[in-house]
Amino acid sequence: DLSERLGVTQQTYSRLEANPASASIERLFKVFSILGVKISFSSATTSSERKQTEEMLKSNSPARQEDW
């Protein structure tokens, strides 16, 4: 149970699900960590990086995304 892994009661976890904006950044990072979600921060992208990202997104058609 995710609430146990977070070290909170089921009631507290239910409140977090109902209103995620109320969670502290520390709690959110703990949830992300438990779920295996990696968060990274970077500086502003250059135009070439933006173009590369746009091309990558365009190449991922909805049909292909279903295989994810």
The DSSP call for residue 22 is: G
Tens-digit pLDDT profile for residues 23-36: 888 888 888 888 89
Phi, psi of 10 (to 5 degrees): -60, -35
What the block records as the tokens of 5 is 């892994």
65 versus 62: which is more confidently predicted? Answer: 62
Residue 68 has pLDDT above 50, yes or no: no
Tens-digit pLDDT profile for residues 3-54: 898 888 999 889 888 988 888 888 888 888 888 988 887 776 677 877 887 7
Length of the chain: 68
Diameter over CA atoms, the chain:
47
Within 13 Å of residue 10, how many CA atoms lie on the same side as its CB?
Answer: 1
Q: Name the one residue in this structure whose structure tokens are 């976890």.
A: 13
